[in-house]
Amino acid sequence: MILGLDISTSITGYTLLDADDGTIIECGHIDLRKEKNFFEKASLVEKKLREIDKASKTWIHEIYIEQSLQSFRSGFSSAHTLSLLSRFNGVVSWLCYEIFALEPHYLAASSARKLCGIKIPKGQKAKKVSLQFVVDNVPGFEVQYTRHGNPKAGYADRSDSYVIAKAGWIREREEIKNTD
């Protein structure tokens, strides 16, 4: 089984994929927006990871995490936000290591989308295009919408965690193929 994570201090998405055929076993999110304390947020993620560990009938053998942003982009995250996200990513990565006894692999979001065949047209928002791709191409991936037709909170994070997990699965298949 493969675990994919899209880590954020507001909503963390997670996906479990079958390691053999890459199908979704479970896909969800952990809403951390109401919790203001950094360590309480980490505790909520830890609780979910421990639930996943207890519930998994077959052992998770790989963990893929979306790499945290490494540089500034005009109009995006501040230095404080980037620092906070990197710290949280590190804490959750450590939790994964402690709970599953596995060192996580990190994938950049753009590389993961490319491996999954998701093309982002110039000028369009990557999260929105990626979510629509997953909705259109992944059986069993469902989204709930607001009355205004927008995806409810957490579904883009679920989609991102799926893309990370699937890209990890594809990468594993390519490595197996290259060693044969």
Domain ranges of the chain: 2-179
CATH number listed for the domain at residues 2-179: 3.30.420.10
Give the pLDDT mean for 34-59.
92
- What is the spatial distance between Cα 52 and Cα 134, in angstroms, rounded to a whole number? 23
Locus of tokens 């957490």 = 154
pLDDT, residue 77, reads 59
pLDDT digits (tens, 9 = 90+) for 103-137: 999 999 999 999 999 999 999 999 999 999 999 99
Banded model confidence at residue 95, pLDDT cuts 50, 70, 90: very high
Q: What is the pLDDT of residue 174?
A: 87
Q: What's residue 175's pLDDT?
A: 82
Band the pLDDT of 163: cuts 50, 70, 90: very high
Residue 160: is its pLDDT beyond 70?
Answer: yes
Report long-range pairs for 121-126 (Cβ below 8 Å, ≥24 apart).
Answer: none
Token pair in block for residue 73: 């982009």
Instruction: Summarize pLDDT for 66-94 with one digit per residue, the tens.
Output: 997 654 444 455 777 778 899 999 999 99
Looking at this protein, which amino acid is placed at residue 49? L
What's the CA gap between 24 and 62, in Å, rounded?
15
* Amino acid making up residue 95: L
